[in-house]
């Protein structure tokens, strides 16, 4: 049998994935497992989804040949401009899809978790658009780090709940969102922001983000007269922007996949979020995957300068691909990401999100050939990170 990197019928990618959930959520999750594929491939759904992606989000996003960056690194680099989406990142692609799904399932209340606030803003945005009640859980530390996004969510009409447990970041926000869902299973739909959580979320989010690689196929055909690149490059937090750029190429071995996870202050420093390098198999937020944990199975607190990558787990699709050698995963530290954020700004006039700057860090660790065509996912814009960037300039 040919090897595949797509999900199987039981919700597994190799040994990873599945749905490990409290009993009270069984019927919700089973219902979603039964319905999601039918709904998101239904022509009426697709029509509404695609219309909003075009008229509201601003798709297709450009595939931009970054000439000065290409010159510097001796290969042909295209940037997939997800930073140009409404609300500033790829997160909106998924939020639009899931809110349409929630409507079809008759739900009236939306909950979400958020780290940097990009998924929270995307969810609050689609809730305003669809006139739905919206509650966003956010670690108390992230509320401080990302206050502009908190203000946006509140202006959009969402209730932002700061979470005081744990180290007050993304993992803790996920825990609270799951707790809320358990208390309100009948009217509430949980919009998960990445390719994590119990099956079917990882596959569903990947499919809703796959619009990115569908566009890349067409755009490469126009620009390169072939519909595939030599390399795809993306950063991974939970793995949704990466899933989006690779989805159409998962089983196409002509295309090499290079992913960047957050090394924080260094993989071995004790301050990192490099889950694939450091993680061991375990269960987090309903899914069997790699996670950072102590020898007795306690989750280790992750660290990254970038709130969007500050998560101790990784989507099961990516755990499997890394384990099978389908992807090459590099750990990019804070300083490298910051340096590349400034470099891209000066070379191309594009201020990237700190998360996306980790993907650019791949060019420091890896040599490419002159004829290599590389597509890098510029997952978001840097507005939310301006304070960090300005502080760096003052220090230098
Ligand atoms: C949330 C976020 C990420 C990380 O999440 P993934 O699910 O791994 O894509 C990366 N970049 C930006 C701009 C984000 O907002």
Q: Where are the domains of the chain?
A: 25-52+91-204, 58-89+210-395
Element containing residue 65 per DSSP (H, E)? strand 63-65
Please name the residue that has the structure tokens 């491939």. 41
Report the C-alpha gap between 304 and 194 in whole angstroms.
17
Residue with CA closest to ligand 1 atom 3: 308
Per-residue confidence (pLDDT) for residue 392, from 0 to 100: 82
Which H, E and C letters describe 152-217, residue by residue? Answer: HHHHCCCEEEEECCCCCCHHHHHHHHHHHHHHCCCCEEECCCCCCCCCCHHHHHHHHHCHHHHHHH
Ligand 1: centre distance to CA 318 (Å) = 14
Report the C-alpha gap between 269 and 304 in whole angstroms.
12
Ligand 1: centre distance to CA 119 (Å) = 8
Per-residue confidence (pLDDT) for residue 167, from 0 to 100: 85
Q: What is the CA radius of gyration of the chain?
A: 19
Name residue 64's beta-bridge partners. 79
Complete edge-to-edge strand list for the sheet that includes strand 327-333: 63-65, 76-81, 373-378, 231-235, 256-264, 327-333
Element containing residue 149 per DSSP (H, E)? helix 147-155
256 is catalytic: no
Report the C-alpha gap between 195 and 186 in whole angstroms.
23
The residues lining ligand 1, judged by C-beta closer than 6 Å to any ligand atom, are 89, 91, 116, 118-119, 194, 235-242, 308-309, 353, 355-356, 379-380
Residue with CA closest to ligand 1 atom 15: 118
In which residue ranges of the chain is pLDDT below 50?
Answer: none
Residue in 83, 308, 352 to alter for ligand 1 test, most ligand atoms within 8 A of Cβ: 308
72 is catalytic: no
Ligand 1 atom having least distance to the Cα of 381: 13
Residue with CA closest to ligand 1 atom 4: 237
User: Are 88 and 116 within 8 A, CB to CB?
Assistant: no
Report the C-alpha gap between 321 and 270 in whole angstroms.
25
Complete edge-to-edge strand list for the sheet that includes strand 280-284: 12-13, 16-17, 287-291, 280-284
* Phi then psi dihedrals of residue 27, to 5 deg: -70, -35
H-type alpha helices, 299-381: 316-323, 334-348, 354-360, 362-365
Residue in 79, 83, 91 to alter for ligand 1 test, most ligand atoms within 8 A of Cβ: 91
CATH number of 25-52+91-204: 3.40.50.1100
Residue in 232, 379, 384, 388 to alter for ligand 1 test, most ligand atoms within 8 A of Cβ: 379
Asked if the 58-89+210-395 domain carries CATH number 3.40.50.1100, the reply is: yes
The single residue of 76, 91, 107, 288 carrying the catalytic annotation is: 91
User: Are 108 and 177 within 8 A, CB to CB?
Assistant: no
The single residue of 240, 272, 356, 379 carrying the catalytic annotation is: 379
Q: Is the pTM of this model over 0.85?
A: yes
Q: Which residues contact 57 (CB under 8 A, 6 or more apart)?
A: 85, 86, 92, 93, 96
Residue with CA closest to ligand 1 atom 14: 308
Per-residue confidence (pLDDT) for residue 37, from 0 to 100: 92
Burial class (CB in 10 A: 0-12, 13-18, 19+), 224: middle
The single residue of 113, 176, 248, 343 carrying the catalytic annotation is: 113
User: Are 272 and 306 within 8 A, CB to CB?
Assistant: no
What is the number of residues in the chain? 396
Please name the residue that has the structure tokens 């996306």. 356
Residue in 83, 94, 116, 236 to alter for ligand 1 test, most ligand atoms within 8 A of Cβ: 116
User: Are 213 and 244 within 8 A, CB to CB?
Assistant: yes
Q: Do domains 25-52+91-204 and 58-89+210-395 have the same CATH topology?
A: yes
Ligand 1 atom having least distance to the Cα of 241: 9
Per-residue confidence (pLDDT) for residue 102, from 0 to 100: 97
Report the C-alpha gap between 357 and 389 in whole angstroms.
12
Ligand 1 atom having least distance to the Cα of 244: 9
113 is catalytic: yes
Look at residues 284, 275, 289 and name the one whose alpha carbon lies nearest to residue 317. 289
User: Are 57 and 85 within 8 A, CB to CB?
Assistant: yes
């Amino acid at each position: 049998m040919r090897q595949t990197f797509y999900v199987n019928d039981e919700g597994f990618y190799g040994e990873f994935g599945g749905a490990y959930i409290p009993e009270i959520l069984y019927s919700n999750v089973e219902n979603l497992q039964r319905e999601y594929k039918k709904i998101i491939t239904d022509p009426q759904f697709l029509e509404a989804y695609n219309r909003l992606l075009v008229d509201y989000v601003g798709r297709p996003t450009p595939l931009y040949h970054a000439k000065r960056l290409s010159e510097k690194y001796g290969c042909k680099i295209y940037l997939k401009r997800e930073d140009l989406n409404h609300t500033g990142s790829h997160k909106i692609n998924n939020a639009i899809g899931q809110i349409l799904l929630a409507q079809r399932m008759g739900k009236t209340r939306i909950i979400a978790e958020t780290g940097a606030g990009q998924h929270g803003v995307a969810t609050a945005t689609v809730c305003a658009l669809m006139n739905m009640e919206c509650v966003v859980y956010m670690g108390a530390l992230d509320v401080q780090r990302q206050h502009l996004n908190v203000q946006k969510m509140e202006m959009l009409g969402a209730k932002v709940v700061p979470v005081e447990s744990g180290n007050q970041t993304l993992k803790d926000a996920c825990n609270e969102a799951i707790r809320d869902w358990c208390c309100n299973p009948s009217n509430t739909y949980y919009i998960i922001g990445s390719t994590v959580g119990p099956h079917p979320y990882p596959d569903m989010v990947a499919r809703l983000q796959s619009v990115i690689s569908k566009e890349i196929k067409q755009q490469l055909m126009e620009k390169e007269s072939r519909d595939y690149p030599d390399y795809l490059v993306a950063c991974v937090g939970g793995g949704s922007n990466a899933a989006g750029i690779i989805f159409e190429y998962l089983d196409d071995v002509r295309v090499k996949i290079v992913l960047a996870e957050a090394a924080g202050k260094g993989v071995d420093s004790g301050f990192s979020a490099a889950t694939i390098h450091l993680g061991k198999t375990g269960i987090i937020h309903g899914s069997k995957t790699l996670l950072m944990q102590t020898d007795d199975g306690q989750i280790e607190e992750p660290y990254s300068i970038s709130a969007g990558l500050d998560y101790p787990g990784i989507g099961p699709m990516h755990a499997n691909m890394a384990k099978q050698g389908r992807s090459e995963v590099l750990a990019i530290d804070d300083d490298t990401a910051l340096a590349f954020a400034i470099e891209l700004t000066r070379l191309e006039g594009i201020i990237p999100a700190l998360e996306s700057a980790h993907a650019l860090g791949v060019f420091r660790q890896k040599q490419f050939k002159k004829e290599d065509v590389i597509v890098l996912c510029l997952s978001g814009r840097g507005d939310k990170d301006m304070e960090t960037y300005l502080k760096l300039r003052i220090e230098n």
